[in-house]
Structure 1
Amino acid sequence: MKLKYELIALDVDGTLLTDEHKLPASVKEAVREASEAGARIVLCTGRGPMGAFPVLEELELSGVLITHNGAATVRSENREILFQYDINKDDLGEFIAYCREHGIHYDVNTAYEMMVERVTEEAKAMYAHHKVVPLEANFDTDLPDGLVKFTLFGSKEQMDFVQSHWEKRPAQLQLIRSGDFFIDVQHPEASKGTALRQLAAELGVRREDILAIGNYYNDISMLEFAGLGIAMSNSPDAVKRAADLVAGSNNEGGVADALRKFAWTE
């Protein structure tokens, strides 16, 4: 058996992890097998590095991660930032005002720090699942430079409503639906696909030697860029259409089945 792909890009939530935010043993084993055979494993996630490092550690791996939907590509060993797409904090005023007015939870992120003005009980539980602890700040006075992401968190219905209104605004910053309960506001050029393209060029890896697996709208760009893009069966239809193949669900260890079926050759 020989690996077909030099780089394997894996989404985290809804792909590697179950809906209960657990890493199935079968998935860990399959990812480790590919890594030990020489594949470069790159987690590509909407999470920031601090929320992605625990997953990388559970896989017993280290290396480069594409985080914040491609807005920050970092190296785990020394926390070096390889690529970053900054947004102007002055452009966030209308988004902050909207969230305050409508009682929507939000946070602001640099590559490594997450800041909040307040935390609801629902948000506390969400942050605990992602293993991150946000810093409290006054967004009128304390926002630093180097921001990469503004995130809203709420019910699917609430996020659907916000998305339907915000999509009609002038596109100075882009909206990324990174999950049923999340909307991210970022630099218009930031995406997992763009970051994966940059990383591949840096490493000298051809796109046909890249396998990508994901499950949500923010994964479409990397599924389309990779030589083989695989969507999970729990993906929305638009994500499945953008992929070359469809694997099993995240709750059934679909990544393990996909890697063993498509990443290897006789």
Structure 2
Amino acid sequence: MKYKLIALDVDGTLINDDHELSPGTVETIRAIAAQGTEFVLCTGRAPRSSIPYMEQLGLDGYVITHNGAATVDVKTQEIVHQFAMNPFGLEPYMDYCRKHKVHFDINTTFGIFVENAAGLSQEALALYRQFMIDAPQELPLWEQLEDPIVKFTIAGSMDELDHIYSEWSLWTQEFNMLRSGDFFIDLMHKEASKGAALQKLAEKRGIPAEQVMAIGNYYNDLTMLTYAGLGVAMDNSPLEVKAAADAVTASNNEEGVKLALQRYCLEEQLQ
């Protein structure tokens, strides 16, 4: 068995643009898992919007969520590891968002908070529902938050976020800032990333990097693609992501995950 741990990004990778798992992808993952390979979803999503995909696949194990900021046991929902942020360091970013009317939310491992939750637009609520979030809670004072903050996210148009990213890149960075999608920017603990979390999990499981495979499609996947012994980019990835990967598969709408697993895992293991 060449690859003992396989990390899969979710949006733009595992699921298609309709947020669906294809039957062929499910069948292939189950076949490989039945041979003893572990799968972990490695996503910008929260646990509650990623664990259902593991359940649909019939898998136990772990999900690496919030772009690597929190790792959670699928069955027990125990937090295995999380990178806690300094909330006071977020205040300049929050002030910027208030001034420029940029939507932001604050994430703990299992919670999501916004200012003026009752006044969220239907468009914003629809976006949250797309990621299996009913509605964010009202953001309390820092001292009233019961759990550590693991991620700060802003949402907007591509042009707006391109501008904000270039502006914030000039600030002294206490946090890891990354584009987690065309319409999102995330701030996390400086050491938090998908690659760092995947490495911690692999070491916990006693699996060396050369026996880890990772498949992703965006800039937030770069660290796990370069950590893994085999990093595979989707055809719908930006050029920089494809360049950093060891191989490229078909797009998320063309069952690229299934094709990559069949090529590099299933066929080899059946020989």
Are residues 33 and 257 of structure 1, via their aligned partners in 2, closer, same or farther at CA, if it must alter by over 3 Å?
Answer: same
Partner in structure 2 of residue 162 of structure 1: 164
Residue 230 of structure 2 aligns with an amino acid whose one-letter code is: L
Please state whether the residue corresponding to 1:15 is helix, strand or coil: coil
Are residues 86 and 21 of structure 1, via their aligned partners in 2, closer, same or farther at CA, if it must alter by over 3 Å?
Answer: same
Partner in structure 2 of residue 114 of structure 1: 112
Paired positions, count = 264
Residue 123 of structure 1 aligns with an amino acid whose one-letter code is: A
- Contact 1:116–1:134 (Cα < 8 Å) also in 2: no
Partner in structure 1 of residue 133 of structure 2: 132
Aligned-pair CA distance for 1:121: 2.4
Aligned-pair CA distance for 1:29: 1.4
Normalising by structure 1, we get a TM-score of: 0.95
Partner in structure 2 of residue 150 of structure 1: 152
Please, which runs of 5 or more residues in structure 2 have no aligned partner? none
- Contact 2:125–2:135 (Cα < 8 Å) also in 1: no
CA distance in 1, matches of 2:136, 2:129: 14
Alignment of 1:94-113 (within 5 A): 94-113=92-111
Aligned-pair CA distance for 1:145: 4.4
Alignment of 1:49-128 (within 5 A): 49-117=47-115, 118=117, 119-128=120-129
Deviations 1:190-223 (A, max 9, x none): 0111111111111100111111100000101001
Please state whether the residue corresponding to 2:172 is helix, strand or coil: coil
Please state whether the residue corresponding to 2:50 is helix, strand or coil: helix
Normalising by structure 2, we get a TM-score of: 0.93
Aligned-pair CA distance for 1:144: 4.4
Please state whether the residue corresponding to 1:263 is helix, strand or coil: helix
CA distance in 1, matches of 2:37, 2:198: 15
Aligned-pair CA distance for 1:136: 2.3
- Contact 1:89–1:145 (Cα < 8 Å) also in 2: no
- Contact 1:54–1:131 (Cα < 8 Å) also in 2: no
Residue 128 of structure 2 aligns with an amino acid whose one-letter code is: Y
Residue 78 of structure 1 aligns with an amino acid whose one-letter code is: T
Residue 187 of structure 1 aligns with an amino acid whose one-letter code is: H
Please, which runs of 5 or more residues in structure 1 have no aligned partner? none
Question: 1:228 aligned to 220, 227, 230, which one?
Answer: 230
CA distance in 1, matches of 2:181, 2:96: 20
CA distance in 1, matches of 2:261, 2:231: 12
Aligned-pair CA distance for 1:122: 2.4
Are residues 138 and 210 of structure 1, via their aligned partners in 2, closer, same or farther at CA, if it must alter by over 3 Å?
Answer: closer
Are residues 138 and 194 of structure 1, via their aligned partners in 2, closer, same or farther at CA, if it must alter by over 3 Å?
Answer: closer
Moved more, 14-23 or 54-63: 54-63
Give the % identical residues.
46
Partner in structure 2 of residue 246 of structure 1: 248
Partner in structure 1 of residue 41 of structure 2: 43
- Contact 1:65–1:73 (Cα < 8 Å) also in 2: yes
Please state whether the residue corresponding to 2:18 is helix, strand or coil: coil
Aligned-pair CA distance for 1:150: 0.4
CA distance in 1, matches of 2:158, 2:29: 31
